[in-house]
């Protein structure tokens, strides 16, 4: 068992899971009975898609995320496959495009209309023909636009460029033929330059997808791997599988050395699969059991013991599959840091599970919401195929700010005119948020804010306080609104004080370095 310290400082130590009320669940949903080991559910801030039962082919449902309650039994489906649908994935950069793969050896790309479906969708936007046998897995590239990976039972992984105009694509841009058996799992690192796979031959591989070469390959005799996941930029892999005694098992690996796991732990004797889900923003790892109702969650650290157990969410309703809401769809006002959508076929129910950090303050908690991946690609398909690597564009989850949405353009623009050399260095390293860029100017115009002058058109974009413009915000009408305004201002003052203290420390450090340089010369 992993080492569980008695006392450990962590802001996520008391995270708990909260199931949604009955009226916020999705009821009467005919969830598939397929025995394939996939999620069978895909979620984005606009829709929830779930693989369903269908006669004479494969189909899945696309339900608006706010349309909770009982589902109409005649609700339209997306049905164009001739075999059972095995996997579905939303485009991370377009909430109205979804990919599906099936036992009919095809991958199809669908356009979903921006309104309630009134009839079945049978014609895909694009159809990908290349696999000789059924296609079991699909994955979108995390940073490049229009790049899709598919894995089939012909032991091949194919890379598709969807940016071409053809409706039927039969020639993938690359075929990875490094596996001797069925690929069970695929996972990308943060910038998409590496692909980790788990294969039925019990081996974990780290592959350069553009070169098609296997960089690392390893297996361990006491660990039969089923699923594998990159742990962001931690340079580690996490895998789930079974031990030689058929106990459910988890293991942690160094991505540069797969000979021996860094950590290995038996969980229980259940027979269901374990799905690993990693949140790179909070460094939290969720382990979701198939066939039971438990969700274990851990915190990952770069030093030993690496895996720090936090808690476990228990439920008596077993889950067949799971869907994950992207960070931009979370309720930050409730301190929600993750949300699962649990498929319960025994009750034809989809139940949202929110992972919440208990906080008393109602203001935005910046410490638990670091910058997260934006819904915009960092690269075009051609740039990625040409060998360029780039991390995901980052945005803040602070609500209501238009400036936050334009964050991905900031690295390509010139720094603010009044910024200091220190802020320019931080901006060049990509570690400064929109609010941090605005704070020097907010300090400079602090006294002008107190007078709330209306003749400041050029400074309106820098006067965002917790996601709203204080010059255009209407005055509070109730006591609760007044208290919220007061708490937000106090939070802003606290953050500005911390920034001033950090700047003073950096100035002292630079002055000492200059003094040392002068003495050396």
- For the chain, the domains span 16-373
Instruction: Single out the residue of 382, 387, 408 nearest to residue 147, CA to CA.
Output: 382
Is the predicted pLDDT of residue 245 greater than 80, yes or no?
yes
pTM recorded for the entire structure: 0.75
Q: Mean per-residue pLDDT for 314-331?
A: 93
Average pLDDT in the chain: 83
Which region among 3-17, 145-159, 237-251, 416-430 has the lowest average model confidence (pLDDT)?
A: 416-430
pLDDT value of residue 48: 96
* More confident site: 214 or 443: 214
Which region among 114-128, 280-294, 434-448, 472-486 has the lowest average model confidence (pLDDT)?
A: 434-448
pLDDT value of residue 7: 52
What is the token pair recorded at 6? 């008695």
Is the predicted pLDDT of residue 419 greater than 60, yes or no?
no
Q: What are the distances in angstroms from CA 284 to CA 197, 279, 296, 309, 318?
A: 21, 5, 10, 10, 23
For residues 467 and 404, what is the distance between their CA atoms, to the nearest angstrom?
8
pLDDT value of residue 514: 87
Residue matched to tokens 């209407």? 474
Is the predicted pLDDT of residue 467 greater than 50, yes or no?
no
Instruction: Single out the residue of 25, 27, 30 nearest to residue 71, CA to CA.
Output: 27
pLDDT bracket for residue 511 (50, 70, 90):
confident
Which region among 70-79, 204-213, 454-463 has the lowest average model confidence (pLDDT)?
A: 454-463
pLDDT value of residue 517: 85
pLDDT bracket for residue 279 (50, 70, 90):
very high
Is the predicted pLDDT of residue 442 greater than 50, yes or no?
no
pLDDT value of residue 520: 77
The CATH topology of domain 16-373 is Methylamine Dehydrogenase; Chain H (2.130.10)
Is the predicted pLDDT of residue 461 greater than 70, yes or no?
no
Is the predicted pLDDT of residue 440 greater than 60, yes or no?
no
* More confident site: 500 or 419: 500
Evaluate whether 8 touches 308 at the Cβ level (below 8 Å): yes
Please classify residue 200 by burial: count the beta carbons closer than 10 Å to its beta carbon, then call 0-12 exposed, 13-18 middle and 19+ buried: middle
Is the predicted pLDDT of residue 433 greater than 70, yes or no?
no
Q: What angle do CA 161, 130, 240 make, to 5 degrees?
A: 80
CA torsion 468-470-471-474 (nearest 10°) is 80
pLDDT value of residue 474: 60
Which region among 191-200, 235-244, 430-439 has the lowest average model confidence (pLDDT)?
A: 430-439
> Contacts from 282-286 at CB under 8 Å and sequence distance 24+?
282/12, 282/337, 282/338, 282/368, 282/370, 283/232, 283/234, 284/12, 284/15, 284/310, 284/337, 284/338, 285/231, 285/238, 286/338, 286/340, 286/355
pLDDT value of residue 469: 44
pLDDT value of residue 471: 40
pLDDT bracket for residue 268 (50, 70, 90):
confident
Q: Mean per-residue pLDDT for 349-357?
A: 95
Evaluate whether 346 touches 318 at the Cβ level (below 8 Å): yes
Is the predicted pLDDT of residue 14 greater than 50, yes or no?
yes
Is the predicted pLDDT of residue 90 greater than 80, yes or no?
yes
pLDDT value of residue 38: 92
Instruction: Single out the residue of 320, 359, 358, 360 nearest to residue 340, CA to CA.
Output: 320
Q: Mean per-residue pLDDT for 403-426?
A: 36
For residues 198 and 228, what is the distance between their CA atoms, to the nearest angstrom?
6
pLDDT value of residue 460: 40
Q: Mean per-residue pLDDT for 453-478?
A: 47
pLDDT value of residue 484: 75
């Amino acid at each position: 068992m992993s080492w569980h310290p008695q006392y450990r400082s962590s802001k996520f130590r008391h995270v708990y899971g909260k199931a949604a009320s009955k009226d916020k669940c999705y009821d009467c949903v005919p969830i598939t009975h397929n025995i394939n080991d996939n999620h069978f559910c895909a979620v984005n801030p606009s829709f929830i898609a779930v693989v369903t039962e269908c006669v004479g082919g494969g189909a899945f449902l696309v339900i608006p995320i706010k349309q909770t309650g009982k589902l109409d039994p005649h609700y339209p489906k997306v049905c164009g496959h001739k075999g059972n649908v095995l996997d579905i994935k939303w485009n991370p950069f377009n909430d109205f495009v979804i990919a599906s793969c099936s036992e009919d050896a095809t991958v199809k790309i669908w356009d979903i209309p921006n309104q309630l479906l009134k009839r079945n969708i049978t014609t895909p936007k694009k159809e990908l023909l290349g696999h000789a046998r059924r296609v079991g897995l699909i994955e979108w590239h995390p940073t490049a636009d229009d790049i899709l990976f598919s894995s089939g039972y012909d032991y091949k992984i194919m890379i598709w460029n969807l940016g071409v105009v053809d409706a039927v694509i039969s020639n993938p841009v690359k075929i990875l033929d490094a596996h001797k058996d069925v690929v069970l799992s695929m996972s990308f690192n943060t910038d998409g330059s590496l692909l980790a796979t788990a294969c039925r031959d019990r081996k974990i591989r780290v592959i350069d997808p553009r070169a098609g070469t296997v960089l690392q390959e390893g297996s361990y005799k006491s660990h039969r791997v089923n699923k594998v996941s990159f742990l962001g930029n931690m340079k580690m892999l996490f895998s789930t599988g079974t031990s030689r005694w058929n106990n459910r098992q988890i293991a942690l690996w160094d991505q540069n050395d797969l000979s021996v796991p860094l950590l290995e732990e038996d969980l229980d004797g259940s027979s269901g699969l374990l799905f690993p889900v990693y949140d790179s923003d909070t460094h939290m790892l969720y382990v979701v059991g198939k066939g039971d109702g438990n969700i274990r969650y851990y915190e990952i650290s770069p030093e030993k013991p690496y895996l720090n157990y936090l808690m476990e969410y228990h439920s008596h309703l077993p889950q067949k599959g799971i869907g994950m809401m992207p960070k931009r769809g979370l309720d930050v006002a409730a301190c929600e840091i993750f949300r699962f959508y649990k498929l319960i076929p025994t009750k034809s129910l989809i139940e949202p599970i929110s992972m919440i950090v208990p906080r008393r303050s109602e203001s935005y908690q910046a410490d638990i919401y670091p910058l997260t991946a934006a819904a915009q690609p960092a690269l075009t398909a051609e740039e990625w195929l040409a060998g360029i690597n780039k991390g995901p564009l980052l945005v803040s989850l602070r609500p209501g700010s238009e400036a936050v949405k334009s964050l991905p353009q900031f690295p390509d623009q010139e720094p603010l005119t009044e910024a200091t050399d220190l802020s320019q260095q931080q901006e060049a390293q990509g570690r400064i948020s929109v609010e941090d860029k605005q704070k020097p100017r907010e300090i400079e115009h602090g006294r002008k804010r107190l007078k709330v002058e209306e003749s400041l058109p050029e400074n309106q974009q820098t006067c965002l306080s917790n996601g709203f413009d204080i010059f255009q915000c209407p005055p509070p009408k109730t006591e609760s609104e007044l208290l919220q305004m007061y708490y937000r201002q106090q939070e802003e003052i606290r953050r500005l004080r911390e920034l001033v203290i950090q700047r003073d420390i950096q100035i002292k450090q630079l002055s000492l370095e200059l003094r040392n340089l002068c003495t050396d010369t």
